A and B are shown apart, each in its own frame.
Chain A
Amino acid sequence: MNGSAPDGMTRRQQTFTRVFDAPRELVWKAWTEPEQLAQWWGPRGIQTPLETIEVDLRPGGAFRMTMVSEADGTEFPTEMEFREVVEPERIVFGWEAQRGLGAGEVTVTFNDRGGKTEVIAHFDGFTTDEIMADAEIGWNGQLDKLGEWLAQGQD
């Protein structure tokens, strides 16, 4: 990803890998068909209704959806575009800065692992602390207490 950090933003990269017990063609479809994306897209506690999902699977094509919080119905519209589509190996999608979220890009790689599929999602983008207010946060271990403390906005 190109560009310098906007004010108050930090560029970070992070990689998430998971092996799924399903053939690659099936995993590819799950990522590229709106009916299937609606079943799983988004963090815990968030649903992505089918009617909000738009997938125009080609470079420059739209990749949009609105995530909805199960708890209070808060909506998180997300405007992205595909930047690279190499069936069934790789998808790159990215977005411009929106809702306090910095511009960013995710490269998703699908590796055939003998009937199973390794999915690697590589995030590269700018973030601010505002994102925390939007995120369903799973604090764990010792950081639980710190998380509560931070949520109270003490100083």
Chain B
Amino acid sequence: MTTAQLDSVFSALADPTRRAILTRLASGEATVTELAEPFDVTLPAISKHVKVLERAGLVERGREAQRRPCRLCPDPLREALGWLAGQSAFWEGSFDRLATHLEAIQREARR
């Protein structure tokens, strides 16, 4: 995956409606009409979100002429989230403990 592809994944994930669509697709494929049901937006708006997800490689659509169900593609998502999670988990976890440690040694020094 190139940096440009990864960037398109991140910008696709930056929108709450698109994240909700991905979450819905995690439990099985769905048509655009089915995807639109829980949202208070028009079908063309959902269709546009799906196109963004398709371009980012996060969603693919079936070939059946009428339904063209949407499916989640795990690989780009796994890579993008894995990258974020690895770095974030390391630094957030380390910084939390470093803060606690610095507090403790300063408390100790004052005694």
Task: Enumerate chain A interface residues (CB-CB to B < 8 A).
Answer: 5, 8, 10-12, 14, 16, 18, 20-22, 26-27, 30, 36, 39-46, 119, 121, 123, 127-132, 134-139, 142-143, 145-147, 149-150, 153-155
Q: Main SS of chain B's interface residues? A: helix
Query: Interface-forming stretch among B30-38, B44-52, B61-69, B80-88?
Result: B80-88
Known: A43-B93, A44-B96, A138-B89. A36 touches B101 (CB 8 A): yes
Q: Does the CB pair B85–A42 fall under 8 Å?
A: no
Q: Which parts of B63-111 form the interface with A (CB within 8 Å)?
A: 72, 74-75, 77-79, 81-103, 105-106
Q: Which partner residue on chain A sits nearest B96 by CB separation?
A: A44
Residues of chain A contacted by B89 (CB below 8 angstroms):
43-44, 135-138
Q: Which partner residue on chain A sits nearest B84 by CB separation?
A: A14
Q: Does the CB pair A142–B20 fall under 8 Å?
A: yes
Measured CA separation A16–B98 after assembly (Å): 14
Q: Main SS of chain A's interface residues? A: mixed
Residues of chain A contacted by B86 (CB below 8 angstroms):
127, 131-132, 134-135
Interface residues on B, range: 35 or more
Q: Does the CB pair B99–A18 fall under 8 Å?
A: yes
Measured CA separation A118–B89 after assembly (Å): 19
Task: Enumerate chain B interface residues (CB-CB to A < 8 A).
Answer: 1-3, 6, 16, 19-20, 22-23, 26-27, 72, 74-75, 77-79, 81-103, 105-106
* A143 → B minimal CB distance (Å): 7
Measured CA separation A61–B32 after assembly (Å): 57
Which of B20, B75, B101, B105 is the one whose CB lies under 8 Å from A129?
Answer: B75
Question: Which of A45, A136, A143 has the largest count of B CB atoms less than 10 A from its CB?
Answer: A143
Measured CA separation A45–B85 after assembly (Å): 14
Measured CA separation A132–B72 after assembly (Å): 19
A-B contacts besides A21-B103, A42-B94, 14 pairs, CB < 8 Å: A16-B88, A16-B91, A16-B92, A30-B101, A36-B105, A41-B94, A43-B94, A121-B91, A135-B82, A136-B93, A139-B85, A145-B27, A146-B23, A149-B27
**CB-based closest 9 A-B pairs:** A132-B82, A43-B93, A40-B97, A16-B91, A44-B93, A22-B102, A149-B26, A43-B89, A135-B86
Q: Does the CB pair A43–B102 fall under 8 Å?
A: no
